[in-house]
A and B are shown apart, each in its own frame.
Chain A
């Protein structure tokens, strides 16, 4: 295939792609209008359930204001992070060494090696001692 033919293919597909974007936005808009925008909330019971699903027990935890993300230490020293994903919750259990911690300007940030789980930012006034210990240990 020549470059001209390749370019021509893109030109021919352009209206279809533009139409697809409109259709995508329309469908997502209809979903929002129909009320499919429920937001889950994190609380202690939910964190305990998530920990139990990993055959672990919750020791300490911190739920961010708004209850959309949380950080917990599990029995045995592992870390559990949880994030609200719309109506669902996504959680990870990982060794402390697999996370990078940073506390700056009232924001506690935890970054993970896994690209599928973006950094977690928790707005907190003061770092609890157990979290400070975790950060130091990492």
Chain B
């Protein structure tokens, strides 16, 4: 079960980044106040920050389960990959690809969406939104998407390190204060690309799942560029009516539970739990697909994939 030791001491990356988060949030607030570019709302920001705090608490309480799973799977690794530069470069790409698929499935399957919806539940898009994080990520087994990496043979600590770096990277892209970034837009996930991801406009739904590199969306057909003629509206399809962190954290889980109690068959139970968010046996509720189809029918645009919809 022993994993190779890293050749350097890995710092607590996210903890070290927190002062930077605080400073950037304060700078963004002042910038928004002075320029009017972007939006803040104190109660919404407080809720986002409290969700970030709760994420930390739940991470301390349950994060060990994910780490233990990494090390357990690592026993059965296919290759012995050490801490070399080529392996680290490969791990960076592999981690980012794993993140893409985690993120995509977190939007497409209600079990994982129940955790991830928290991050999308603000109607605002600013740096505090980046900290509006789930409390139930580990408990919903979101970490399974990274297990193939340690099974291949990437050291668990290396995978965890790049996961932390990815999380820190994704902080600064939650802003309306940066418009476009030139050629970087081709390769990197940028504020513009991520605004599209957080938007509820039919045109923008289920797009831009990237962590650090936008190349995965371009590769798998989920890339949608930001259209200057269509300003993103943020949040979720059925906007929350509360700033209460407990309601924000658990509302979708309770929704699953409520639906399961009304399920009349195993098919319905599975559909409510693992189907697309909004799935219902009679199709009476809205899903991303049905919204995009209605939009496409209205505007005559193709709707089979976000890439086409762009």
Contact among B22, B239, B252 with A23 in the assembled complex (CB-CB below 8 Å): B22
**Least distance between B126 CB and chain A CB atoms (Å):** 10
- Tier of interface size on chain B: 35 or more
- Quick check: B239 and A20 within 8 Å, CB to CB? no
- Contact digits for A77-110, partner B, Cβ 8 Å, 1 yes 0 no: 0000101011110111000000000000000000
Q: Which residues of A contact B248 (CB under 8 A)?
A: 116
Contact mask B241-255 → A, CB, 8 Å, 1/0? Answer: 111100110111011
> Which of B25, B121, B128, B242 has most A Cβ within 10 Å?
B242
Question: For the complex, is B53 an interface residue (Cβ under 8 Å from A)?
Answer: yes
With A115-B247, A116-B251 already in contact, the answer to whether A27 and B238 are too (CB < 8 A) is: no
Query: For chain B residues 169-210, which have a beta carbon within 8 Å of chain A?
Result: none
CB neighbours (8 Å) of B32 from chain A are: 36
Is A44's CB within 8 Å of the partner chain B? no
Interface-centre pick from A6, A17, A36 (highest chain B CB count, 10 A): A36
- The answer to whether the Cβ of B43 comes within 8 Å of any Cβ in the partner chain is yes
* Interface: A30 (CB within 8 A): yes
- Please tell me if the beta carbons of A85 and B45 are within 8 angstroms of each other in the complex: no
Decide yes or no whether B228 CB sits under 8 A from chain A: no
Contact of A117 among B22, B45, B240 (CB under 8 A): B240
**How near does chain A come to B207, taking the closest CB pair, in angstroms?**
21
Q: How far is the CA of A116 from the CA of B250 in the complex (A)?
A: 8
* A21 and B53 form a contact (CB under 8 A): yes
> Which residues of B are found within 8 Å of A10, using beta-carbon distances?
60
Tell me the A16-65 residues at the B interface (CB within 8 Å).
Answer: 16-17, 20-21, 23-24, 26-28, 30-32, 34-38
Taking a contact as CB atoms under 8 Å apart, the answer to whether B45 and A114 are in contact is no
Interface of A is mostly: mixed
Q: Does B50 interact with chain A (Cβ within 8 Å)? A: yes
Bound state CA distance, A86 and B40, in angstroms?
Answer: 10
The reply to whether A86 and B43 form a contact with Cβ atoms under 8 Å apart is yes
Alpha-carbon distance A30/B128, docked complex (angstroms): 13
Bound Cα distance from A31 to B49, whole angstroms: 12
Given A10-B60, A114-B251, A85:B239 Cβ within 8 A: yes
Contact indicator B247/A34 (Cβ below 8 Å)? no
Compute how far the CA of A62 lies from the CA of B254 in the bound complex, rounded to whole angstroms. 29
Q: Is the CB of B60 within 8 A of A9?
A: yes
B56 at the interface (CB under 8 A from A): yes
Contacts of B258 in A (CB 8 A): 113
For A27, give its contact among B43, B128, B240, B251 (CB under 8 Å). B128
- Given contacts A28-B45, A34-B40, A36-B45, whether A118 and B29 have CB atoms under 8 Å apart is no
A13 interface residue (CB < 8 Å to B): yes
Docked CA distance A43–B123 (Å): 20
Given that A31-B29, A115-B250, A118-B247 are known contacts, is A37 also in contact with B22, CB under 8 Å in the complex?
Answer: no
Which residues from B are CB-within-8-Å of A26? 22
B33 in contact with A17 (CB, 8 Å): no
Which 7 pairs between the two chains have the least Cβ-Cβ distance?
A: A116-B251, A117-B241, A28-B46, A90-B239, A86-B41, A36-B40, A31-B42
14 contacts between A and B (CB under 8 A): A10-B60, A17-B57, A26-B22, A30-B26, A34-B29, A34-B40, A36-B41, A83-B241, A87-B41, A88-B124, A90-B123, A90-B240, A115-B247, A117-B241
Enumerate chain B interface residues (CB-CB to A < 8 A).
Answer: 15, 18, 22, 25-26, 29-30, 32-33, 39-46, 49-50, 52-53, 56-57, 60, 64, 68, 121, 123-124, 128, 238-244, 247-248, 250-252, 254-255, 258
Residues in chain A within 8 A of chain B (CB atoms) = 1, 6, 9-10, 13, 16-17, 20-21, 23-24, 26-28, 30-32, 34-38, 81, 83, 85-88, 90-92, 113-118
Known: A30-B29, A86-B243, A87-B39. 9 other contacts (CB 8 A): A9-B60, A10-B60, A24-B46, A31-B46, A32-B42, A34-B29, A88-B123, A114-B251, A116-B255
